[in-house]
Amino acid sequence: MSSEQDVLYQAAEGVATITINRPKKLNALNLAVIKTMRGFFQQAEEDQSVRVVILTSAEDKAFAAGADITEFKDRNSNTVRPLVESGQELCRYIESMSKPVIASVNGFALGGGCEIAMACDIRYASANARFGQPEINLGIIPGYGGSARLPRLVGLGIAKEMIYTGDQIKADEALRIGLVNKVFDTVETLRAETLKLAKTLVTKPGVAIRLAKQSLNKAWELPLGQNLKFETDVFRQTFDTKDKVEGVDAFLSKRPAKFSHR
């Protein structure tokens, strides 16, 4: 099967949906899948009509059960480099996109699957979702940024427990520790609520969303003083946008705002 069929892309009404579709291998992420996903995220970024991206999977059993372990077998520290670098670069690209990316997670989100979900802005999950970083059981460690992003999301102690044990956690536990934003009873509800969130975000002013994402991402990277300085700079930028004029005028005129994303 070609990698194009292993990942699907669809865009409608401002929402691009990228769907991992390798069900026989529980959506294991081989190099071709990672490269195809990367191309689709870039397509979504460059398409001016797209305002929000959803990352999901075609079947219920797995969001992605991690990097494709068959590609590990004959590699050493040198030859594994393209695998780790392409996965890390994909995650960085998702984070640096100007548009919000929602991970809609059903089934297993393990290893690279969990790591890519963590690079997304918002994670919604169904009750059947299972999260984990099981790399330790292969004698390796997370390589798409799990040791960096998991402690930032859930705290160092819980991240260490998850990465040292490799244990899976259920959706309700993922919700409790802050790894996901919301959990829904069924996959159908998950899909409907993900789309509802995406459609809400489509209506928001695009420049402000982009700048908010940049400023929020800096919370992971900068000391507080520099973070606040960055926020001041991008806050001021929003004051030169048409959307700020429209938003403030709409409020004061007691009418709904209609943003042009400029």
Footprint of ligand COA (CB under 6 A)? 25-26, 28, 65-70, 108, 110-111, 134-135, 138
Among candidate residues 115, 193, 231, 246, the one labeled active-site is 115
Q: Judged by CB, which is closer to ligand COA: 100, or 111?
A: 111
**Complex with ligand COA: residue 168 or 241, whichever CB lies closer:** 168
Whichever of 140 and 222 has its CB closer to ligand COA, that residue is: 140
Q: Shortest gap between Cβ of 69 and ligand COA (angstroms)? A: 4
Catalytic residue check, 115: yes
Q: How far is the CB of 206 from ligand COA (least distance, A)?
A: 35
Determine whether 188 is an active site residue.
no
Query: Do the Cβ atoms of 52 and 201 come closer than 8 Å?
Result: yes
Q: Residues with Cβ < 8 Å from 72, sequence gap 6 or more?
A: 80, 83, 138, 140
CB of 158 to ligand COA, least distance (A): 19
Instruction: Quote the least distance from Cβ 109 to ligand COA, whole Å.
Output: 10
- Residue with smaller CB distance to ligand COA, 14 or 143: 143
Whether 71 contacts 23, CB under 8 Å: no
Residue tagged 């990316």 (tokens): 101
Q: Looking at beta carbons only, is 16 or 162 nearer to ligand COA?
A: 162
Which one is catalytic: 45, 95, 135, 231? 135
Q: How far is the CB of 170 from ligand COA (least distance, A)?
A: 13
CB-CB neighbours of 74 under 10 Å: 8
Indicate left, alpha or beta for 103 from its phi (over 0: left) and psi (-120 to 50: alpha).
beta
DSSP code for 9 = E
Best CA proximity match to 107, nearest among 142, 65, 67, 69: 65
Distance CA 113, CA 63 (A): 7
Contact 108, 64 (CB under 8 A): yes
The encoded tokens of residue 75 equal 């590699």
As a whole number of angstroms, the distance between CA 198 and CA 63 comes to 18
Contact present, 262 and 242 (Cβ < 8 Å): yes
Catalytic amino acids?
A: 115, 135
